[in-house]
Homo-oligomer: A and B are copies of this chain.
Amino acid sequence: MSSVIPVLEVFGPTIQGEGAVIGQKTMFVRTGGCDYRCSWCDSAFTWDGTGKSEALTAEEIIERLDTLAPASYGHVTISGGNPLLHKGIGQLVNLLQARGIQTAVETQGTFWQDWLKQIDAVTISPKPPSSGMKTNWETLNKCLTQLDTRQVSLKVVVFNKTDYRFAKEVHHRFPAYEFYLQVGNEDPTTADQQKLMQDLLQQYEQLIDWTMNDKEMNRVRVLPQLHTLLWGNKRGV
């Protein structure tokens, strides 16, 4: 018997818009519930009560994926909220891997579940000061050290210079891990897609500029969110 997982959205196939597997053709499973309340969260519906989650078993989630992409997906991204709140995801990961499907997970690294070791691409994204959240370095360290350096990457979203300094601290505390700087979306509700795209590209250029002029940040990658450039704040793409 599977334990149930609170699920907000199952969608795809689409591209992964950010981080270490940027551009990857993937299906998305977005779980509900988060231990964080980031001021600029672009998926606040997963924790602020505005989104209604369904309690699904791993088998039911697979059925949804199969309906969306009949016998036709090779990669699934589990995002949230914070998926690490849910032990039951282990069963979903087992079922996917039994079919040879690759997996990716996005989390802030505040909780641990043993199933995380099975994930092909784990993105750990400590939240910068602009989020209003505070990183517990010991907890983050515990999470990282249980994973293989080849399977995990660190990602920090940057909205301003204070966030950038935080990103540097993360990179310098954990230099062995692939490190990604990502442009923050300052307006996750606007419908003016044209203006959003222009603003994001401008902020991306700014972030590149800071990084290129910083001798302490040479082994890093700087990326935008491709899905936001393409589709603005639309959900389920």
Contact = CB atoms under 8 A, between A and B. Distances in A.
Interface of A: 12-15, 21-25, 71-75, 102, 180, 197, 201, 204-205, 208, 211-212, 215, 217-224, 226, 229-230
Copies held by the complex: 2
A23 B212 CA distance: 11
Given A14-B212, A212-B14, A24 B230 contact: no
A205 B219 contact: no
B24 A75 contact: no
Contact of A223 (B22, B72, B219, B220): B22
- The A interface, classified by DSSP as helix, strand, loop or mixed, is mixed
Nearest to A207: B15
A22 B25 contact: no
B23 A217 contact: no
Q: Which 6 A-B pairs have the closest CB atoms?
A: A74-B218, A23-B221, A72-B215, A23-B223, A74-B219, A13-B212
